[in-house]
Amino acid sequence: MFPATCIVLLSVVFPLRMSNCEHLAENSYLSVPNDFLKGVENCDLQLLHNGISSSYFSFLQDILLPRTILVVPLIHKIGEVSSFETFVLDILKSRPGPDKMSIWLSKLLLKTEKKYRTDSTYFYAWLLFSSSYHYGFQCEKCNHNVVRGHDWNFVQSNKNVYPIVLTHFDVLETAKILRIYHRISENFLMAFISHSGLSEVCLMRIGFCIGGRQNFVCKQIGRRRVLANFWKLVTLPKAWSGTYGPIDRQEEYGTLLNKDLPHPRTNPFGRENSINIPLYMAVIIVTGTNASLEFEQGSISYPIVTIETREVDSFQYQKLSEYSLQYQRLSEFTYTSGYQFLTCYAESYLSFDFYLTPFQPTLWVSFLISVLLTFMVLYFYTSWKHHRPPYAVWWSFVSLFLDDSSSVPQVIGSALFYRLLFCTWGPVAVLLTNCYSGLMISELNAPLKQARARVFEDLVCQSGSNFKIPTVPEELSRWAERVPFENYKAYWGQLFSLDESKLFIRNDFALDDCYSMVSSPFQIIGRTTYFWYSMLSVEFINNFNLLLSLFIKNPKIPSTLSSDNILTFSFMNPVHRQLPEGMNLTRNNYSTNELQALAERDTINCEGKTVFVSTLEAVQSKMVFLNKHYPSKKFHSGERLLDQAWFGWTFERGGRSSKSSSVSAVQRNFQALVYSGIYSRLKIEMARKTWLRRNPVANDTTTNIVSPLTMNEGLITIFMISGVLLALAAVSLVIEGYKYDWYGGLMSCRRGYASIFCRKYCILRLKKCRKQNRRISDASQIVVNPSLEI
């Protein structure tokens, strides 16, 4: 949103309790040299003090830098500041410089008396306050880096910030007073003055050990203009610490050693060796700055590069805190990923649209209109000419569509009007009939249409209509009432009592009509399991209380549930099987290849409802592998991602690559990889190598790609056509049969059979009623005359 020259700048002050030092005279203070800031340009200057004498500001006489001098109160926490707006510089109404130098003038650190407090609470409180709440703007709708209860939004960065502490104590004593034993601002400087003037400047070393003078790089300056090029004083790091943990790892990365890192001169496109592409990119961007990548840093605190993490979005928009101030994390977004599925299962179907497909809708409309008009004209003509049609007019039209002809009386057939009409209509009807028959035969020879799962909602096992994610509280409550939580608890509850030697639990609730969800192998704590099964297990354990409140009919349903949460909870239903068939649950020493083979056998079984679920990258590479080795099967993947998130790299500290840059040299090299397209090309190579040395579990040598029709598929059309013909015959019998004598006999027989049936039914009903009445009368006699039994 804002250029690099308008970044939040860091200023520090250290107000301490000075009750033990108030009795000292003015001459006990040390003076700041007048040439302390000579040569400093293009920099904002901020001075904070706690009531020190004005004689200490004499070095500002000939300085033309924009400056701010603030007297800070004695406070302990930032939250106690009631009017922090007085410290805020509105960037919409001002023009901040590209850099900022903040000088801290503290009475205690400039005294010769060595009485000090080791309480560092004040130091870090004012360090956070001066940096995070200095440059801001007012915005009611913004919610990043805001102060609760205020409309101020703040911009934050420490790359262009140079806090300077003026002190009389040496390095170790000052570090002890301030408790500088862990990471703070990477541009932190300490200027040491004595009665003879400014003696040396010490800088915080990037990547330092806990304790010792080796944490600082000190330079003797004498009377030189050492601060003229203040940005050059900060040294670049000699090493970076790497962090890497892919969510779908098939190898154990928790114990990465330096010897496991690929060499920067390795050819990433070579097929003779297999290297980890993300680690390779981390090595080349770090070694390009004449530094080394370390995974065994021990007690040394190096700058950190996090490789392909999904927390890039939360790092980008994190709230202001002491954590974000110290760690100074910047992120680079690279791609979007989430969970996706693939399957070859499809349900064939035959709908009524199948019979309308050969002709376009306009042709059908024109055909029906022409038939109706022709029939009406002929009917009215025969009715006018003969007062009563001597034959079935409509049957002469229908017979043409059945490739047959109907008998026409001679009195009608010899009429010129009839001949002209059917000479025009007959060829058209025959042509349409033959075209329709030919097209239908072609359609029947082709495979039927298939319904495939397109989104994750199609995978949810639910009776009735398709699953719809509830969006309002009423729908959410009804959805929770339908979920069998007893089955959830019986299945997933086994995790709480699972033996440490076992990884898998038995599922007695799985149904063949519901989708099975297998996945790729996954390494966790030195053992191999399945990625999707492990993810659902962790999700159930972490959200067990939430599930409990949902499925025990609690009327207060959490409103924070997202659609992805509801889908995930639906897939936890034990009717979905997460483990492949034929797996021995008592065995816990499966290798990665064995688990991969079990999952692949279920995935290529297109007769069963099985899907392969994993990350987007894993599914894409799996799709390429399956299409290559199983050409007779048609695989397809989902259209939308589940639990979609941003992925990228994060960089903590590391200095600046140049005077005009606000990022480190390592981050600059990574940006060059991304912008040049090398990053995406290496990711493609990574996907190609995923299945490079793996063989399929079955040989796909099928030559007949199109499966033959069976009685359950296209030939069902024969029975449908036969039923339609029988129905038409019955209708024509009812309409046209009244003209003949046998029709009356048939109707009388029908009435006779109906009367016989009614008579038989009445006789049976009468006999049943008589039996019931006889039972009631016998029971009443027993009650009235009990002596008869005696």
Condensed to tens digits (0 to 9), the pLDDT of residues 71-92 reads 765 544 444 444 566 677 888 8
Are residues 603 and 564 part of one domain? Answer: yes
Task: Name the average pLDDT for the chain.
Answer: 74
Which of 91-105, 195-209, 564-578: highest mean pLDDT? 564-578
**Considering the domain boundaries, does residue 410 fall inside one?**
yes
More confident residue, 374 or 250: 374
Q: What is the pLDDT of residues 227-249, one digit of tens each?
A: 777 667 777 778 888 888 776 55
- Which domain, by its residues, includes 486? 456-639
136 forms bridges with which residues in the sheet?
90, 154
Residue among 186, 150, 232, 145 nearest 10 (CA): 186
Are residues 54 and 132 part of one domain? Answer: yes
Tell me the C-alpha distance between 358 and 440, whole Å: 7
For the chain, the C-alpha Rg in angstroms (whole number) is: 43
**Considering the domain boundaries, does residue 703 fall inside one?**
no
Of 414, 447, 480, the one marking the end of a domain is: 447
Are residues 405 and 282 part of one domain? Answer: no
Burial letters 125-151, b for 16+ CB under 10 A, else e: bbbbbbbbbbbbbeeeeeeebbbeeee
User: Cβ neighbours of residue 65 under 8 Å, at least 6 residues apart?
Assistant: 37, 40, 41, 43, 44, 45
Give the angle 399-401-407 at the CA atoms, nearest 5°: 15
Are residues 256 and 138 part of one domain? Answer: no
Tokens 């039209």 found at:
397
Of 620, 639, 658, the one marking the end of a domain is: 639
Are residues 193 and 55 part of one domain? Answer: yes
Are residues 361 and 296 part of one domain? Answer: no
Number of domain units in the chain: 5
**Considering the domain boundaries, does residue 584 fall inside one?**
yes
Are residues 156 and 34 part of one domain? Answer: yes
Q: What is the pLDDT of residues 182-191, one digit of tens each?
A: 556 677 888 8
Which of 215-219, 274-278, 692-696: highest mean pLDDT? 274-278
**Considering the domain boundaries, does residue 103 fall inside one?**
yes
**Considering the domain boundaries, does residue 705 fall inside one?**
no
Range of weakest confidence among 350-354, 382-386, 650-654:
350-354
Question: Do residues 479 and 558 touch, judged by C-beta distance below 8 A?
Answer: no
Are residues 140 and 74 part of one domain? Answer: yes
Q: What is the pLDDT of residues 608-639, one digit of tens each?
A: 899 999 989 889 889 999 998 998 899 999 98
Whole-number pLDDT of residue 389: 66
**Considering the domain boundaries, does residue 733 fall inside one?**
no
**Considering the domain boundaries, does residue 336 fall inside one?**
yes
Tell me the C-alpha distance between 344 and 362, whole Å: 36
Are residues 295 and 218 part of one domain? Answer: no
C-alpha 494, offset from chain centre: 28
Are residues 24 and 166 part of one domain? Answer: yes
Are residues 570 and 488 part of one domain? Answer: yes
Of 179, 210, 232, the one marking the end of a domain is: 232
**Considering the domain boundaries, does residue 761 fall inside one?**
yes
Are residues 358 and 330 part of one domain? Answer: no
The model's pTM is: 0.67
Give the DSSP H/E element, type plus range, for residue 141.
Answer: none
